[in-house]
Structure 1
């Protein structure tokens, strides 16, 4: 395995000030007008968006919506934090290194271990929106394996 390059995504943090600082209870959908959608890390293809739902991504213990258009390939990457996910819309095919592909349909829960490289593809005609809860500060690193 070879790490091609490391790109932290701390730049995303400045995009989400009002929701990240919320002290009140909230209930949001992926279509809520309150959401502030920002860009994903530079190694992700155009079209990827992320919105903080609650918490502070620079500190950990926070939640996001991650959205990609239909037929979008999420490149091989990993996070230093474990991630807990629920698919909100679309159909997502996720493959963690050394494992079989899992097909996530709306309502499917998935757990991603820390530092385990994975790829995904949003299949079908609908955008994929994934609720993700991170334990540790937000980061994402591209990963290229040499086989």
Structure 2
């Protein structure tokens, strides 16, 4: 299986921050940019804290259009996902199977273990917040599903 690193340094969405200083951010201050090519086209990403391309904790938000799908994949670190708005559907397994998914609405939360294949798809436009440890890496269960390899 191919492993693809989520390198965000070139997206222009990173915000340098001193982790000891703390910071606050209003929703209107989020700097949205195109999600990296390791994710299917159409999503946007904003970095709230940390740097997903480097070692250490980070928090990002992913804004996905209606009917957006992320094929089965895993990460070498745990991923905590909170639904900010919309409808986030997820399931475990080696392929995206909508019949085996669980639906989370706004305020829902899932803690996805490291190295466990999972998939996701959205109903309407959806915003989720992801907390994890970097560097953030996506390893698709089926390497042919990696959108960065088909461009």
Q: TM-score range by the shorter chain?
A: 0.7 to 0.9
TM-score by length of 2: 0.77
- Which runs of 4 or more aligned residues in structure 1 lie more than 4 Å from their structure 2 counterparts after TM superposition? none
RMSD over aligned CA atoms reads 2.2
**Cα gap change, 1:46 to 1:73, in 2 (>3 Å):** same
**Cα gap change, 1:49 to 1:127, in 2 (>3 Å):** same
CA contact (8 A) 1:41 1:140 kept: no
Provide structure 2 residue ranges, at least 5 long, that are not aligned to the other structure.
Answer: 144-151
- 1:7: which partner in 2? 4
TM-score by length of 1: 0.79
Provide structure 1 residue ranges, at least 5 long, that are not aligned to the other structure.
Answer: none
Which deviates more from structure 2 when the two are superposed, residues 54-63 or residues 36-45? 36-45
Which deviates more from structure 2 when the two are superposed, residues 63-72 or residues 39-48? 39-48
- 1:102: which partner in 2? 102
* Alpha-carbon offset, residue 122 of structure 1: 0.4
Which deviates more from structure 2 when the two are superposed, residues 126-135 or residues 106-115? 126-135
- 1:48: which partner in 2? 43
Number of matched pairs? 135
